[in-house]
Structures are given as C-alpha cells and as structure tokens.
Amino acid sequence: MDDMPSGLINHGIHNEESQLRVHVCPLVRRIYVFPTQCGIDALDKGIPKNGYQTGIDYPTAYGKCVPPFAIKKCVALQVNPSVWEYWKFKETESTSEKGEKAAKLIKAMILEGMFPLPIAVGARDELPMSIDIKGTDILVFIKGGIIRLQVKCDYRGGEKELGGTGNLYLQTAECNPLQKH
C-alpha cells in the first residue's frame, strides 16, 4: 500500500464488512454518508496521510484524505444545531470517546427516522427494526436483512467552506499501541 509506515497492519475501509460508511464531522456540523464500496473506489483520488495517537511519536494509522464529494453517492446530512449542543463533541476527547458518541448519535437518528437507510419506502410501523452497536459498527436488523454501518468521528473532516479540512479520512492501516477501542 503506497507509502504506508512500517509496523501497521492492513486494516481499514477496504476490509471492513459494512455496507454504509458514516463520518460524523462535529467541526462542520455535518454527517457524511456513502456506500462503503464508493469510499474504497475513491481511495485513488486521496492524498496519503499518517494518523497519530496522543502520546505516541510514530504513526498509528495510515489512510487517504478524500474530498467528500469525490466519493460517489456521498450525501451530507445537516441536523439541527441542538443535536450538536446535546452531544458536546470535544476535539480533546479520546478517539474512543468521540467514536462512542458518534455511534450513539447515529443510533438515535435511526430510531427517530432521521437517517437515510437504503430500505423500501413504507410506513415506519411496517418496518420492525432493532439496532445493535458493536464498537463503531451499527447493525440494523430490518425485515429482509441486516444493514451494517461503520461510524467514524472525523472531527475536523468535511467541507473547507464550512471550516473543515476539505476531506474525509479513509483509513487503510493501523496499529493500536495504547489498546484503545
């Protein structure tokens, strides 16, 4: 994988089992949603970037920075400002804390019918559903199958015009020396 730093394992968007990728971007107050395969297909459009964990002086992640709308079928969701005020994401929180908040936010949106799931249009009462969160994976069990979502808190991600980096970070490799989950 191009210039991936040594010591990282091949793990990221290209080998997760999700159908949908969700990037919660608190700085720009947007949630970007796209089919996982579209994100994989967009990796060649990205700029390589290492990621780091606080207190570790070597790269603990590697991926590509890709503009949101360079990813086919990517949509940006704008939610009421009170949602962001309620969840109070802080850049200083650990990756685990931000990821847990992001997953809980998306679960709440699904339960309230505010999240675009690729299911047949019909009355909400006609779609019995249950949701299970496993880390940052959300499994939505609906009549006819399971939809797997991978949720990421991409704190500074999102459109430059809104104050973000102009990209979403699509990780392809990692190590976890601090054993944070």
Q: What pLDDT was estimated at residue 56?
A: 83
Higher-confidence residue of 126 and 180: namely 180
pTM: 0.87
**Dist. CA 111–CA 105, nearest whole Å:** 10
pLDDT in tens, 11-63: 999 999 899 999 999 999 999 999 999 999 999 999 999 988 878 889 999 99
Q: Are 148 and 17 in contact (CB under 8 A)?
A: yes
Residues in a beta bridge with 137: 134, 150
pLDDT in tens, 132-181: 666 657 777 776 678 899 999 999 999 999 999 999 999 999 987 666 54
